[in-house]
Amino acid sequence: MGKSLKKPTRSQAERWNSSIQSTYGTPSISLVRGKGIEVWDVDGKKYLDLLGGIATNLLGHNHPKVSAAIAKQARELSHVSNFYSHPQVLDLAERLVKMSGDSSARVFFCNSGAEANEAALKLSRLTGRKRVVAALGAFHGRTMGALSLTGQPSKRDPFKPLISKVVHVPYGDVRALHRKVNGRTAMLIIEPIMGEAGVILPPPGYLKAAREICDKTGALLVIDCIQTGMGRTGNWFGFEHEGIAPDVITLAKGLGGGLPLGAMIAIGPSAQLFTAGSHGTTFGGNPIACAAANVVISEIEKSSYLSLNATKGALLRNLISPIDGVIGCRGRGLLIGIQVRGGKAKEITNKLATAGYLVNATSEDVIRIAPAFIITERQIIKFAGAFAEVCEEVYDG
Ligand SMILES: Cc1ncc(COP(=O)(O)O)c(C=O)c1O
């Protein structure tokens, strides 16, 4: 006890493998510092971060106002149990209620996306119904409840049996919703864009049809905005372009601007389903995480990020689409999936990292881009140039 840490003699990979479980594989890059859209590794190499902590660092790394708010809150009050209120949690809850557009909304705070969806699942049981409909390919998290909603067999199968009475239907298929959502369905959960599945957009009108079907059957419409929320797609929530109002919105990722924070926002009658003792978590609504979230929301409100995200996303898609090797470039706002030819997504991702650009391959064919909102047009153009060079090397080399 009390011994100071010695300078490590083993590589990062050796230290990782001998101390951390292999759930994420072994990272080849070890990051130590970030500023804005850039990050630096242990050897001082600089990268342009086009992934933003997977759609999480909305204002980039080490944003002065976010860092100052975190430091100030840490000095004042870093944690308090939910036996007590504090100004940061109240400010944030009121803002989220306002953003939801419905004063009947009530917020449950938690620490992650999986927890937000777990909360939604538990909430739906209090309707007295048990059945759930979710989408094939969807990702809603990896805890047992959230995993039951996740529609990816590779992630689900090793952990069966999961929660029963969850059926998965093809994403974007309105007829399948008509078939499976009925008077015994507690909730239908949908991502406005399937992020982890490779930035898959549903056909126009899908969310509207889902709303109508839920209205008719009395099922709760839960929209998982964990990846598509907080302005990423050009609106506060990824469903707004369809003009619908969900019964439940789940948020995490960008909400805390890089700190662990999730929220389950229930609207209308569903806001009254949880009562004292129904649910809870020690860290939910933590003052530091809420302080960070309040600054993130203020900065997005003060700037034109929402409309700029749409413009910047369109620029990126227009620059990337014509590159040889790219089959398609889709998305909304700053959530973009680049479909590449020949199963080369991982190779391109690795070569981009070597060239100093961080992106992520969601599969053999798709590369995901989800940068911080502060990314500039110049940085987008620079990245598109690097992407073209790497594609030339991969496909013509
Ligand atoms: C749409 C969606 N829902 C839920 C989750 C789970 O969030 P977390 O990893 O914070 O548990 C994710 C994470 O990628 C997500 O993209």
At residue 338, the pLDDT reads 98
Q: What is the pLDDT of residue 397?
A: 75
For residue 121 and ligand 1, the question of a CB distance below 6 A is answered with: no
pLDDT digits (tens, 9 = 90+) for 332-376: 999 999 999 999 999 999 999 999 999 999 999 999 999 999 999
Can you give the pLDDT at residue 365? Answer: 98
At residue 356, the pLDDT reads 98
Distance from the CA of 65 to the center of ligand 1, in angstroms?
26
Beta bridge partners of 134: 168
Catalytic residue set: 139, 224, 253
Q: Answer whether 56 contacts ligand 1 (Cβ < 6 A).
A: no
User: What's the alpha-carbon Rg for the chain, to the nearest Å?
Assistant: 21
- State pLDDT tens for residues 35-58: 999 999 999 999 999 999 999 999
Question: Which pLDDT belongs to residue 313?
Answer: 98
Chain centroid to CA 362: 14
Strand locations in 148-214 (E): 166-169, 185-190
In this model, does residue 3 exceed pLDDT 80? no
Cα 374 to Cα 202: distance, rounded to the nearest angstrom: 27
Closest to 122 in 3D by CA, of 220, 11, 7, 230: 220
Structure tokens at 104: 């009947």
Rounded to whole angstroms, the Cα distance separating 227 from 53 reads 11
| CA pair distance 262, 295, nearest whole angstrom | 16
Share of the chain above pLDDT 90, in %: 97
Strands (E) in 111-218, as ranges, are: 131-135, 166-169, 185-190
Q: How confident is the model at residue 4 (pLDDT cuts 50, 70, 90)?
A: low
The predicted pLDDT at position 9 comes to 82
168 Cα–ligand 1 center, Å: 18
pLDDT at 2: 46
pLDDT of residue 5: 58
Expressed in angstroms and rounded, the spacing between residue 394 Cα and the centre of ligand 1 is 31
For 18-21, the CB contacts below 8 A with 24+ separation are none
Handedness of CA 119, 146, 210, 97 (dihedral sign): positive
pLDDT digits (tens, 9 = 90+) for 291-325: 999 999 999 999 999 999 999 999 999 999 999 99
Look at residues 233, 220, 249 and name the one whose alpha carbon lies nearest to residue 305.
Answer: 233
In this prediction, residue 1 carries a pLDDT of 44
Q: What is the pLDDT of residues 163-221, one digit of tens each?
A: 999 999 999 999 999 999 999 999 999 999 999 999 999 999 999 999 999 999 999 99
- Answer whether 137 contacts ligand 1 (Cβ < 6 A): no
Residue 277: the pLDDT is: 96
Q: Which tokens in the block code for residue 25?
A: 């594989």
C-beta of 305 in contact with ligand 1 (< 6 A)? no
Q: Is the CB–ligand 1 distance for residue 227 below 6 Å?
A: yes
Determine the Cα–Cα distance for residues 250 and 115; give it in Å rounded to an integer. 9
Tens of pLDDT, residues 67-117: 999 999 999 999 999 999 999 999 999 999 999 999 999 999 999 999 999
**Closest Cα to residue 224, out of 258, 259, 188, 278?**
188
User: 263 C-alpha to center of ligand 1: Å?
Assistant: 12
pLDDT score, position 80: 96
Cα 381 to Cα 52, 96, 130, 182, 312: the distances in Å are 17, 34, 49, 48, 10
Residue 259: closest CA among 112, 73, 54: 112
CA-nearest residue for atom 16, ligand 1, is: 227
Stated pTM of the model: 0.97
Which pLDDT value is given to residue 346? 98
Task: Enumerate domains of the chain plus CATH numbers.
Answer: 17-49+304-396 (3.90.1150.10), 66-302 (3.40.640.10)
Ligand 1 atom closest to Cα of 196? Answer: 16
